[in-house]
Amino acid sequence: MQKRVYLVKISFLLFLLVLITPSAAQEKCGLQVKEAPSVFGLKLGMNPKQAQSVFGKNLKLKIKKEGTFFQNFIEKKPPFFLSGTRAIYLRFFEVRLYQIEVFYEPQSERKTLEEFVGDLSAKFNLPSNFWITEYGKAALDCGEFSIVADNVLNPRVELTDKIIHARFEAAQKDKNK
């Protein structure tokens, strides 16, 4: 009888373990793309005209519907509102900003990737416990958008609207057929 009670308890514990484990593994950032952080006043989903309004007269964004805006600040200083930036990429598709990539100036004291990710989480009000670090990159998947950060040469962050990016990739694949 005692052996049977023991087996029932073990079976119940295994059953609970099976139920709990998948839900813990599936935990991820639940933010939607409209809740994605703003980078220097730029938000995913902006049209080129809205992005230009963030730049003002300091930078000229010559994109109407789709394309990539790139500006580096290696030879000259960035405008005040992009202080600390070494280079910036803005990628548009279907008249929407779907990716913001920023390379920051290296700090005098080099931070570890974990410190950089911690700073990003605090600055952008992101959940710090869902970042996954592999191969020198940290990634945060929030379903509709993702953030990738690394600190290989310079600190870099890439914010992507995954839905528009998937449509862009599909259009590129169709174009190359």
- Give the span between the Cα atoms of 5 and 7, in whole angstroms: 5
Q: What six digits make up the tokens of 24?
A: 């813990």
- Give the span between the Cα atoms of 70 and 101, in whole angstroms: 9
Of the candidates 96, 154, 84, the one whose C-alpha atom is nearest the C-alpha of residue 123 is 84
What does residue 173 show for φ and ψ, rounded to 5 degrees?
-65, -45
Is residue 63 over pLDDT 80?
yes
With 0-12 CB in 10 A as exposed, 13-18 as middle and 19+ as buried, what is 116? buried
User: Would you state the pLDDT for residue 29?
Assistant: 86
Count CB atoms within 10 A of the CB of residue 66.
15
Residue whose tokens read 């994109």: 63
Is residue 11 over pLDDT 90?
no
Is residue 14 over pLDDT 60?
no
Higher pLDDT, 37 or 9: 37
User: Would you state the pLDDT for residue 17?
Assistant: 36
What does residue 32 show for φ and ψ, rounded to 5 degrees?
-95, 165
Sheet with 96-104, side-by-side order of all strands? 67-72, 85-93, 96-104, 156-161, 145-150, 137-141, 132-134
User: Would you state the pLDDT for residue 8?
Assistant: 40
The tens digit of pLDDT for each residue in 103-127 reads 999 876 778 999 999 999 999 999 9
Q: How confident is the model at residue 5 (pLDDT cuts 50, 70, 90)?
A: very low
Q: Where are the domains of the chain?
A: 27-175
The tens digit of pLDDT for each residue in 46-56 reads 999 999 999 98
User: Would you state the pLDDT for residue 18?
Assistant: 37
Q: How confident is the model at residue 89 (pLDDT cuts 50, 70, 90)?
A: very high
